[in-house]
Chains A and B, each alone.
Chain A
Amino acid sequence: MSDQNELNLSNRLMEACGGLEKSLQTFKDINQKAHFIALSAAIEGARMRSKLGTFSIVASQIANQASNNIQLSEKLEGLIGKITTESLEAIAVRNYELASDLIDKLDRNLFERNCDVQAWATFDEVKNALKLSSDENFERASAILHRLTSIYVVYAESVLLDLTGNIVSAASNKSLIGQDLSARDWYKAALGGQVFVSDLHFSDFVKKRCVFYCAPVLDDNNTVLGVLCNAFNWDYALEMIRSADFAKETRASIINFQGTVIASTHENQILNDNSTWMRAGELAAENCCGFSTEKARNGEPLAIGFSHTKGYNAYKGKNWSAIVAETLGDVEMKVVSKVLENRSHVTTPLKGSANRIASEISCQKLLATMKEIDDLVLEINSNNREVKLLAVNASIQAGLAGADGEGFSIIANEVAVLAKKSLTFVEEVNHITSSLRHAVEYSSSVRLVDAAKDTMSKVDRNLFERYCDIQAWSIFSKLIQVCDANLSSDAEANLLLEKVHRIYEVYHDIYLVNLDGKVIATAINRGLIGQNYSQRDWFKGATSGNIFVSDIYVSETLKMPLMSFSSPVTNADGKMVGVLVSRFNCNFLNDIIRATIIDSSSKCYLLNHDSKVIASAHNDEIHAKSFCDLGVGEYSAKDEHGYFEAKSKQGGVDQSYGFNISKGYNTYRGQKWVTVTERPNRQSVAVKPMDSEDRFRIQVLEKAKRVG
């Protein structure tokens, strides 16, 4: 299975390119030598014209072939340079994919943070604190913020500010209460009525690196009462980079719009370094995505991918970019930078197409250059055989000349020895190109594993948010009141659910159910009020006191994949009074799958613990396709992630697979789901193309066989 060293594509590619260069040098030496020997032989032969006339013809033919080979080797040198550049690009493109994975993951996370602050600002406790301005209400707000931050884990602090800019409630550090923050930009911006997201900074009052999410707190008439500020603990963004498992030689970072490093695998750089010294950093700061190969400040060659954020859903991004820079060994390189996509318009929906083309093209380019090398080597090879036969002919001539030919037969032998040596060269080059080809194939396999890993991590992180959401909403005092009093279709409760539903975008509906299993409030479909759901698993799960997470199922009436998260609703006395259930629209998981960066012939699936497809880019495959027969279950029981090959049932075509099993994220423990990426193996690699001469020969051979 996958091992870090073995997965190091760059080493493989660079080694192969270095190997090619070295054997080329030997080859050139050989031909130079053959050329000179043959030339002097021709001169000698000409001098003894009468006896060895034909010998001098043969010798000059050898000289010709040798100089042909020298020309070919120069061509080959050009191709080796090209393939080295292309290999570097392939590595850079791979890093671009990793950068895109990283920034996409971050965006999705920050989108959730963007939703949270808006949802929290609608809590009655928060509103009342600002409306009623009493110590008791301030404390209630502090208490609810404390509960919320402990559910979501990722916040370092959450503070409520009144219209004068003073902190009136705080989730964790009560000593903050009373501080005047009216001069802060984020406060002023949120007071204007907009949700505001700060850049990363070291907060002087939270005493941590944070990103602030600030939302105005509004009363029922949409009048601003104050500002809620959630401080996202940046350690969780760093954890995202750490968990992405970059190679040792790789430096991954997030930079802000000015190019300042705000997250990095090398923590000492955070807020201390600026990335615009790299062309990649400059381009990223100009809202571009792409890759570059350039030199580091210490002169080391780097293959860099960069990807600019475009935000996700309602979160429009902060003009940040991810940069993944890999240090390569000793390679000669030209500075190349390519922009694949300009994302100055952040509203473009997430599309994987541009990315896919980049990596596919880089692979195809490499394979095409290898084909060129093959063709050239084929030519060199037939030249070599020619030289060998010419050398034999020289021997024949020398032999026929008797004693006079002795000297020439020695020369002829030397040429024959050289020809043999250059045949070895051809074998070497063939060996190297085949290992290069493997490396390219392998890079696709590595990507399969990376993509499976990244997608699983995004799915887990998303489900963690859903897991937190249902717990957070179940402590809305309005909902607890409605359950406590067993009111059906309370207008305020319906409205509250509707609002939350609107903020988060990702839910199909939310129901509040009383202890009999009857729906008493809904976010969207009011027609369901009064329905009895007491037999549902989510109801039974939540009433037994747990947070329940269902498998993915396809709703028959809605034709839509859904997932239920349910939580008991508990009153102030700790008594269970109802159940809140959210129906997560799993098209958002399909969307994560769709955004997986893999080449266009590959597919990505999410499987449940029975190896059945539960999320896919194609809705009709959900619950219809299964990976049982492939042993995904056994593989994923053994290794967290890995790679395997298998034959598909239909065509018998080899397919390669990457997989990663869910380990959950944070408090969400996961359900043993597995992501699988699938790619048909390239056939062209195994079959070596035939030249026209070969084809002719085979035709003749067939004739010979028939008559023989």
Chain B
Amino acid sequence: MRYLSFEIRGEQFGIQLEKVKEVIAFPPITPAPGMPSHCLGLMRLREQVLPVIDLRIRLKLVPTLTHDTAVVVCELGKTTVGLVVDFINTVVAPDTVDIMPAPLGADGHAIGFVSSIVRREKGLTLILDVGQLISASDEELIQTQAAFQQIRAAA
């Protein structure tokens, strides 16, 4: 497995490389009415128009904007979306021994939008299943936040 590593609030996350199309700098965004709050609006990418989702807002974090803020263009099934993140690291090919399955959440269910966890020299990288993350309910998210904290603390 390879994944694209990026950061939100200084924590590392990853998306499986197969789902990633490319990365771009934070583009001009046209706000669109009637979208959920984590959807910033629409962006142009060459001949395409894509919805932009701020992963930070989705994760209930306050977003910041710096020169490093970037958009990861991902394939979600048939649609393509832009995901706003704080910082792009690089493409990583981890050793298979470092890849762990997703843990169970606080309620005993598997956390739907974390597909696996990668151990690094310092800390962990949560590999996100973006499709699940976007469609997850707020309740699920809140429960998962608590689980995240536990996982990080245990590492």
Contact = CB atoms under 8 A, between A and B. Distances in A.
User: Are A and B a genuine interacting pair, yes or no?
Assistant: yes
Given A392-B4, A395-B91, A382 B20 contact: no
Interface in A380-405: 381-382, 385-386, 388-389, 392-393, 395-396, 398-400
Interface string A359-397: 000000000000000000000011001101100110110
Interface in A642-701: 696-698, 700-701
Contacts of A708: 37-38, 54, 56-57, 62-63
Interface residues of B, number: 32
A707 B57 contact: yes
A207 interface: no
Given A385-B25, A396-B23, A416-B90, A698 B65 contact: yes
Given A382-B25, A385-B68, A707 B37 contact: yes
A229 B132 CA distance: 105
A248 interface: no
A686 B29 CA distance: 30
Contact of A386 (B18, B25, B31, B38): B25
A389 B28 CA distance: 17
Interface in A164-219: none
A163 to B, nearest CB: 89
B23 A703 contact: no
B71 to A, nearest CB: 9
**Chain A contact residues, majority secondary structure:** helix
A703 B40 contact: yes
A705 interface: yes
B82 to A, nearest CB: 13
A1 interface: no
B17 A396 contact: yes
Nearest to B24: A389
Contact of B23 (A389, A412, A697, A707): A389
Nearest to B63: A704
A307 interface: no
A109 interface: no
Nearest to A54: B22
A703 B88 contact: no
A705 B17 contact: no
B93 interface: yes
Nearest to A703: B31
Nearest to A697: B65
A193 B28 CA distance: 85
B67 A400 contact: no
B40 A389 contact: no
A398 to B, nearest CB: 8
Interface string B19-63: 011111110110100000110100000000000001011000011
B9 interface: no
Contacts of A400: 17-18
B120 interface: no
A703 B28 CA distance: 13
Given A389-B25, A703-B40, A399 B17 contact: yes
B62 A705 contact: yes
Contacts of B64: 701
A385 B67 CA distance: 8
Contacts of A392: 4, 23, 88, 90-91
B127 interface: no
A396 B4 contact: yes
Contact of B26 (A399, A697, A705): A697
B67 A381 contact: yes
A399 B19 CA distance: 12
A409 interface: yes
B40 A393 contact: no
B54 A704 contact: yes
B63 A705 contact: yes
Interface in B68-106: 68-70, 88, 90-91, 93
Q: Which of A392, A398, A416, A696 has the most CB of B within 10 A?
A: A392
Contacts of A705: 62-63
Nearest to B64: A701
B89 to A, nearest CB: 8
B2 interface: yes
B90 A395 contact: yes
Contacts of A701: 63-65
B70 A389 contact: yes
Contacts of A696: 28
Contact of B91 (A385, A399, A707): A399
Nearest to B37: A707
A382 B67 contact: yes
Most interface-central of B38, B65, B93 (chain A CB within 10 A)? B65
A409 B69 CA distance: 23
B85 to A, nearest CB: 12
A427 to B, nearest CB: 12
Nearest to A393: B22
Contacts of A698: 65
Contacts of A395: 90-91
Nearest to B91: A395
Contacts of B67: 381-382, 385
Contacts of A412: 91
Q: Which interface residue of B21, B24, B90 has the most chain A CB atoms within 10 A?
A: B90
A700 B25 CA distance: 14
Nearest to A389: B23
Interface in A266-322: none
Given A396-B23, A399-B93, A708-B57, A389 B88 contact: yes
B17, B22, B63, B93: residue with the most chain A Cβ atoms closer than 10 Å = B22
A271 B136 CA distance: 93
A396 B93 CA distance: 11
B148 to A, nearest CB: 18
A697 B69 CA distance: 10
Nearest to A696: B28
A212 B40 CA distance: 86
A70 B41 CA distance: 35
A665 to B, nearest CB: 58
Contacts of A386: 25
A386 B70 CA distance: 10
B40 A700 contact: yes
A398 B91 CA distance: 10
A701 B67 CA distance: 13
Contacts of B23: 389, 392-393, 396
Given A385-B25, A416-B90, A700-B40, A396 B57 contact: no
Contacts of A381: 67
Nearest to A416: B90
B94 to A, nearest CB: 12
Contact of B22 (A388, A396, A704, A707): A396
Contacts of A396: 4, 17, 20-23, 91
25 contacts: A382-B25, A382-B67, A385-B68, A389-B25, A392-B4, A392-B90, A396-B4, A396-B17, A396-B20, A396-B22, A399-B2, A413-B90, A416-B90, A697-B65, A698-B65, A703-B31, A703-B40, A704-B40, A704-B57, A704-B63, A705-B62, A707-B57, A708-B38, A708-B54, A708-B57
**6 A-B pairs with least C-beta separation:** A395-B91, A707-B37, A701-B65, A708-B57, A399-B2, A393-B22
Given A381-B67, A392-B23, A700-B40, 5 more contacts: A382-B25, A389-B25, A393-B23, A704-B54, A705-B63
Interface of B: 2, 4, 17-18, 20-26, 28-29, 31, 37-38, 40, 54, 56-57, 62-65, 67-70, 88, 90-91, 93
